[in-house]
Chains A and B, each alone.
Chain A
């Protein structure tokens, strides 16, 4: 997790939202862990029509002006990384894909 560029915090959660590991800005942040677990539950129900019914989201990103959160599921764990956006690149709320 330390090797991710621009990383300023991370969380590793179990499927039920329990915090397994945390570090940086997100250290021991159970509040964010709960919010993100709820967000994942919501996103599973988004759209039966635009996305096919069994197509679960591989990645969720939440972008602010100067930092962004990436959330993905792997091996029954939820990985959340808070990364900073280099100031030279950011021009307001752009989505990094």
Chain B
């Protein structure tokens, strides 16, 4: 049932510098995760994405980027699905 989703996850993991990726629904349930992305962080990632949407509720959901020295985590919501990609900084 989740073949399509798995295909997309595989494609994302093949992109350069990607360490992990995660997909969650609007309630924080993890639908898929791969690599360094932890299943448990689905809830927090959805919460972060929702919080960011509150800044400008009339615009479409923004892309949130959390960065440390060497890594970054990109989060975006599209409809009811929130995706997160963990990357190594180039």
Which A positions have Cβ atoms within 8 angstroms of B?
32, 35-36, 38-39, 42-43, 45-51, 55-65, 68-69, 93-95, 97
Which secondary structure dominates chain B's binding surface? Answer: mixed
A56 to B19, CA, bound (A): 18
When C-beta atoms are compared, the residue in chain A nearest to B87 turns out to be: A97
Shortest Cβ gap from B87 to chain A (Å):
9
Number of A-B residue pairs at CB separation under 8 A: 94
Closest A-B pairs by Cβ, 10 of them:
A50-B36, A49-B38, A59-B67, A61-B65, A47-B41, A63-B63, A57-B66, A39-B51, A62-B62, A64-B62
Main SS at interface, chain A = loop
Residues in chain B within 8 A of chain A (CB atoms): 19-20, 36-38, 41, 44-45, 47-48, 51-52, 54-56, 59-60, 62-69, 71-74, 76, 86, 89
What's the Cα separation between A59 and B65 when bound, in Å? Answer: 8
